Copies of this chain bind each other. A is one copy, B any other.
Amino acid sequence: MSTQASQLERLTFFSDAVFAIAITLLVIEIEVPRLGIASDAAYLAALHELGPSFMGFVISFLVIGALWAAHHRVFGMLGDYDRQLVMPNLLLLMVVAFMPFATALMSANTLARVPELFYSATLLVAGLLQCWLFGRALRAPYLQPDCPAAEVVAVRARSWALPCAASLSLVLAWFAPAYNNFVLLLIPLLVRLLPRMALARWNRRNADSG
């Protein structure tokens, strides 16, 4: 294995580890109720109060999981890297590592506007950094030579799903804090729609110029 390839592997490995740790630390921020001997109803009430925390755990787990899956896919398309990629990657990891805080802030203060804005803004920054990183990485010197151009178009378009949904969620957080997170359910849709639209445009352009 060439040294350069093994260095790319190590960058990938380090990123994977940060994703994995951040995703697993989410649970630490959920406070454990300690009631001692109490009635079943008291426990159910305590768990019910933790509802927003469970919600936040699930949302953030899926978001970080999706960020990881995209990172996984994009870095699988690379055959080389250089220092130009280290900084955007590190900044993306910084926001991912920050997610447990943003999640806990939102979950511990249900229905409050500022924490929801803060959470949506964190997602937005993560999404934009991801677009920046992927835009930089999916290019001539780094891409594996046999990587099909259509896949690059699709993956780049796909990476706009999170910033789009997060922007919308940010705006809605002002008017309907907590409920704004339902907008994130659009992500699975956008992840299919955006690449399709981008590929259609790309095919049209190719046909025009062909």
Binding site for B on A (CB under 8 A): 3, 6-7, 10-14, 16-30, 32-38, 40, 43-44, 47, 57-58, 61-62, 65, 68-69, 72, 76, 86, 90, 93-94, 97-98, 100-101, 104-105, 108-109, 111-115, 118, 144
State the oligomeric state as a number of copies: 4
B17 pairs with A101, CB closer than 8 A? no
Q: Top 10 closest A-B pairs, CB basis? A: A43-B114, A17-B20, A21-B24, A32-B104, A34-B108, A24-B97, A65-B90, A7-B76, A27-B101, A61-B94
Q: Is the interface of A mostly helix, strand, loop or mixed?
A: helix
Residue ID in chain B nearest A90 by CB atoms: B65
Q: CA of A118 to CA of B48 in the docked complex: distance in angstroms?
A: 12
Complex A-B: 10 CB contacts under 8 Å: A14-B19, A16-B17, A17-B17, A20-B21, A21-B25, A27-B100, A32-B104, A33-B109, A37-B111, A61-B94
Does the CB pair A10–B12 fall under 8 Å?
yes
Which residues from B are CB-within-8-Å of A97? 23-24, 26-27, 61
> Are B38 and A3 in contact, with the CB atoms below 8 A?
no
Give CA–CA (A17, B13) in the complex, Å: 9
Q: How far is the CB of A57 from chain B (nearest CB, A)?
A: 7
